[in-house]
A and B are shown apart, each in its own frame.
Chain A
């Protein structure tokens, strides 16, 4: 005979058949979830897309959400800790701003000089009278336009000449490149300023304008009156040429990547020199 407890169990079995089925399913699901939770790969498969989407959303919203906070913090920092902010920013921006301002000021000064050309003329006359120099000579020297004489593309570390261009015959270009590199390295090393670089060497009537890049530098020898506006033009020429030079090397890299092996010739010195002549040969500065 069944006792009361057993009868109750039978009754429950009859009455809750459907519920038992649900309980089993839920148990099974919990086991599955536990497995996912304890398996890193499975978990990241589920969670990563959600996190990525959240991060993307967060990044997208930074300007609107964090922007005002950052701006307010920066304003506050600038207001209350001006010196600290300047200290932090100066190494990065200082040199750039300083150069820009200096260049602009110099240009402005040259423009003012041009405006006061009558003063210049009077000054020339005075110089001529008291300096015992012909006025025509003074005028000629003022009018001597800056002219590009030589251009060198040089490897930064070794000082090896990659390519050169010269309007006149000089001593060996490779030796010049070596010596330029030695001088440049000495100056930069001696003042312990490897992050800064020598940019101009003046030698009587000649100036050597140096523009450093990561692996190479370009040295342009200029004769004549090298004013700031000429300097700007030379800088533009250098940047345009170097851009082209980089593109030439990039083509090579791309060719190598494609790797049919037939066109993988390195860019020759002659090709680079043709480009230098194209950019600098007839340039008016």
Chain B
């Protein structure tokens, strides 16, 4: 069975949304940082164990510190959201609850995955302590640079969308 689903990647500036997509879609990485302006759309087809052939249409939205300012038009019809934060920059996750509330208010019913990126730059033990201190329950801790946990995060979203 063939399905198409719209997945949004949201988060603050420079947390690695585009890099995560590039790693997942083309298994590549670039250190050169290019700001995403507006939105960039890519696609990856995933074959799921259920037999579903899922087209993930990945909407890479430009980063913003104020999620409530994201254009509603981009959020409409979203099937799933991956919220990305940078484990090296507390500013990108300190207000995560407020950010998630905004997302859940704007994109009702869609599953939301919380992903902490740039794990290659920190000691996992430090990250765990930091996240515990801030009471953050992330779903995946990834590295777009090494590819660690990237596929797992996207495939988890795909499975949730197939359910």
In the complex, the answer to whether A174 meets B43 with C-beta atoms within 8 Å is: yes
Q: Which residue of A lies closest to B73 (CB)?
A: A185
Partner of A182, one of B2, B5, B59, B79: B59
Q: Is A204 an interface residue (CB 8 A)?
A: no
Contacts of B39 in A (CB 8 A): 182, 186
Q: Is A172 an interface residue (CB 8 A)?
A: yes
Question: How far does the alpha carbon of A172 sit from the alpha carbon of B45 in the complex, in Å?
Answer: 12
Output the least CB separation between B54 and chain A (Å): 12
Q: Is A161 an interface residue (CB 8 A)?
A: yes
Q: Is A145 an interface residue (CB 8 A)?
A: no
Question: How far does the alpha carbon of A182 sit from the alpha carbon of B76 in the complex, in Å?
Answer: 10
0 or 1 for each of A238-275: is its CB under 8 Å from B? (1 = yes)? 00000000000000000000000000000001000000
Given A155-B77, A160-B6, A186-B38; A172-B71 close (CB under 8 Å)? no
Restricting to B24-59, which residues have a CB under 8 Å from any CB of A?
Answer: 38-39, 41-43, 55, 57, 59
In the complex, the answer to whether B57 meets A160 with C-beta atoms within 8 Å is: yes
Contacts of B2 in A (CB 8 A): 269
Partner of B4, one of A160, A179, A185: A160
Q: Which residue of B lies closest to A174 (CB)?
A: B43
* Max chain B Cβ within 10 angstroms of own Cβ: one of A155, A156, A185: A185
Output the least CB separation between B81 and chain A (Å): 13
Output the least CB separation between B80 and chain A (Å): 11
Contacts of B76 in A (CB 8 A): 156-158, 185
Interface residues on A, range: 10 to 19
0 or 1 for each of A85-127: is its CB under 8 Å from B? (1 = yes)? 0000000000000000000000000000000000000000000
Given A158-B6, A159-B6, A160-B4; A185-B57 close (CB under 8 Å)? no
Contacts of A190 in B (CB 8 A): 71
Number of interface residues of B (CB under 8 A): 20
Question: How far does the alpha carbon of A190 sit from the alpha carbon of B38 in the complex, in Å?
Answer: 12
Given A174-B57, A178-B59; A158-B41 close (CB under 8 Å)? no
Q: Is B159 an interface residue (CB 8 A)?
A: no
Q: Which residue of B lies closest to A177 (CB)?
A: B57
Output the least CB separation between A203 and chain B (Å): 17
Given A160-B57, A179-B41; A186-B71 close (CB under 8 Å)? yes
In the complex, the answer to whether A160 meets B59 with C-beta atoms within 8 Å is: no
In the complex, the answer to whether A185 meets B6 with C-beta atoms within 8 Å is: no
Contacts of A156 in B (CB 8 A): 76-77
Q: Which residue of A lies closest to B39 (CB)?
A: A182
Q: Is A135 an interface residue (CB 8 A)?
A: no
Restricting to A155-203, which residues have a CB under 8 Å from any CB of B?
Answer: 155-161, 172, 174-175, 178-179, 182, 185-186, 188-190
Q: A159-B77, A182-B39, A189-B72 are in contact. List 17 more A-B contacts (CB 8 A).
A: A156-B76, A157-B77, A158-B78, A158-B79, A160-B6, A160-B57, A160-B77, A172-B43, A175-B41, A175-B43, A175-B57, A178-B6, A178-B43, A179-B41, A186-B73, A186-B74, A189-B73
What are 21 A-B pairs with beta-carbon distances under 8 A?
A157-B76, A158-B6, A158-B57, A159-B6, A159-B77, A160-B4, A160-B5, A160-B6, A174-B4, A174-B43, A175-B42, A179-B41, A182-B38, A182-B41, A185-B73, A185-B76, A186-B38, A186-B74, A188-B73, A190-B71, A269-B2
Please report B residues at the A interface, Cβ cutoff 8 Å: 2, 4-6, 38-39, 41-43, 55, 57, 59, 71-74, 76-79
